[in-house]
């Protein structure tokens, strides 16, 4: 087989990618799996919610027609815990989801924010299930 790059070139390119902080995004399936493992028990297998737990497929509808990405990211990385009208019921903390490689996410107004890959994958999954 013809080799286009030498092993040494490949190693160098790999180092550059690491230095640039390019963490490849997790697959959409990864977000779905994380949701089943960590969220479905309360929010339902399809994110449809329950008596004390909000429906996550109507986030966009309930937040003025636009998926509320900053709120979701804040909620998931713990900044927005307990800031909701659902008295008595609270989101648990997900410390283990906050570990692992970081990836940069483009947010509103051209800003970007480094976030754990798992949080980003969950956010992408939630965006994909909006009605
Ligand atoms: C123990 C039950 C429970 C688990 C597990 C849980 N949640 Fe929640 N979640 C809640 C409750 C209760 C609320 C409403 C109170 C609040 O916003 O803190 C909520 C609120 C939310 C909201 C805000 C919804 C809105 O309409 O404002 C998002 C987004 C969310 N959860 C995502 C998730 C994700 C993603 C996971 C898995 C990583 C998860 N939740 C796991 C109980 C849970």
CA atoms within 13 A on the CB side of 106: 3
User: Does 125 sit in the ligand 1 pocket, CB within 6 Å?
Assistant: no
User: Does 73 sit in the ligand 1 pocket, CB within 6 Å?
Assistant: no
Identify the residue whose C-alpha is closest to ligand 1 atom 39: 39
Q: Give yes or no for residue 106 having a pLDDT over 90.
A: no
Contact between 127 and 70 under an 8 Å Cβ cutoff? The reply is no
Pocket residue to mutate for ligand 1, from 31, 54, 69, 98, most atoms within 8 A of Cβ: 54
- Residues near 25 by beta carbon (within 8 Å), at least 6 away in sequence: 103, 117, 120, 121, 124
* Greater model confidence, 76 or 88: 76
Q: Give yes or no for residue 37 having a pLDDT over 70.
A: yes
């Amino acid at each position: 087989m013809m080799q286009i790059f030498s092993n040494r070139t490949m190693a160098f390119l790999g180092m550059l990618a690491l230095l640039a902080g390019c963490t490849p995004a997790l697959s959409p399936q990864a977000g779905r799996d994380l949701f089943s493992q960590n969220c479905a028990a309360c929010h339902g297998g399809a994110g449809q919610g329950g008596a004390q737990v909000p429906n996550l497929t109507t986030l966009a509808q309930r937040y003025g027609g636009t998926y509320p990405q900053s709120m979701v990211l804040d909620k998931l990385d713990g900044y927005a815990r307990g800031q909701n009208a659902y008295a008595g019921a609270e989101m648990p903390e997900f410390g283990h989801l906050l570990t692992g490689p970081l990836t940069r996410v483009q947010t509103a107004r051209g800003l970007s924010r480094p976030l754990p890959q798992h949080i980003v994958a969950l956010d992408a999954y939630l965006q994909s299930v909006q009605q």
